[in-house]
Amino acid sequence: MAISVFGSSVAIAEERLLVVADEWPPFSGEGLPGLGISLDVTRAVLERAGYEVETAILPWSRVVSGAKSGEYDVVTSLFLDPEMQKSVFYSEPFFETQVQFVRQKGRDITYDGLDSLQPYVIAVGAGFLYETEFDNADHLKKFEVTTTLQGLKMVAAGRVDLTLDSSHVVRHSMLLSDDALQDQLEFLQPALTKQQIHMAVSRSRPDHAGIVADFNAALTDMRADGSLDALLEKHNTD
């Protein structure tokens, strides 16, 4: 149990918080420094607030069900999502990214609102959240893939017209693949949206609001003293 003081980063930790996220590099994933931007930041902020932290990378379905049941204390690498808010209590954001479409370089595809996308087949991640209006746009031709990299390769091969994800995720996926993808693909302007990234605490914990208050206070402290920027620099987030 943690004793929290709202508005400050004071906590006495007598148990560990289990922080989980799904595989979504560079924000979270096995093999990444600190298990990715989101897990590294969330761990550092919670430890700054006085909590002990354990981390794990899990399939998204387990992350969602475990957060609802209270099996997992904290979920990170989250866009703000009204459905998730029913089961978890969100912190202030600690990172911002753009969600952008990707096309073959030089293709005459323009983006001017969702209706302009109707002629095109768009690769989307199964269960991925991008932006509410796009996610709910059933009139668009969407082709489900399992990873962002799969969608990028399909665009490069001409099997679909577009794909999309966080610009940080797209760049990381291309770096992990080969130089050919970077030469074949380009971002479509303007971005679909900007999304902020949060952690959230399971509402099944009676102290969920206190944990989030402690996190927010410690995050403010780390922004002020430059330690958050130093941590993000380690992940090459530019």
pLDDT score at 237: 61
| Tokens read off for 161 | 């017209």
Structure tokens at 46: 């919670």
Instruction: Specify the pTM.
Output: 0.87
Question: Which DSSP category does 204 fall into?
Answer: T
Please tell me whether the peptide bond between 206 and the residue prior to it is cis, using omega within 30 degrees of 0: no
Contacts of 10 (CB under 8 A, 6+ apart): 4, 49, 50, 214
Q: Which amino acid, residue 79?
A: F
3 state DSSP class of 194: strand
Among 43, 27, 41, 132, residue whose Cα is nearest residue 84: 132
pLDDT digits (tens), the chain, 238 positions: 444 444 444 444 456 899 999 999 999 999 999 999 999 999 999 999 999 999 999 998 999 999 999 999 999 999 999 989 999 999 999 999 999 999 999 999 999 999 999 999 999 998 888 999 999 999 999 999 999 999 999 999 999 999 999 999 999 998 877 668 989 999 999 999 999 999 999 999 999 999 999 999 999 999 999 999 999 998 876 6
Please give the pLDDT value at position 16. 87
**Beta strand 162-166 with 95-104: parallel, antiparallel or unpaired?**
antiparallel
What confidence score (pLDDT) does residue 8 get? 43
Nearest of 208, 172, 203, 191 to residue 100 by alpha carbon: 191
Which domains are assigned to the chain?
Answer: 2-95+196-234 (3.40.190.10), 97-194 (3.40.190.10)
* Cα 176 from Cα 103, distance rounded (Å): 18
Q: State both tokens at 203.
A: 């509402």
CA distances from 187 to 32, 154, 192 (A): 24, 15, 11
**Cα–Cα distance for residue pair 228/223, rounded to 1 Å:** 5
> pLDDT digits over 57-110, tens only?
999 899 999 999 999 999 999 999 998 999 999 999 999 999 999 999 999 999
Transcribe 57-96 into DSSP letters.
Answer: E--HHHHHHHHHHTSSSEEEEE---HHHHTTEEE----EE
230 in Cβ contact with 29 (< 8 Å): no
Take residue 150 and report the two structure tokens written for it.
């799969």
Identify the H or E element spanning 133. helix 132-135
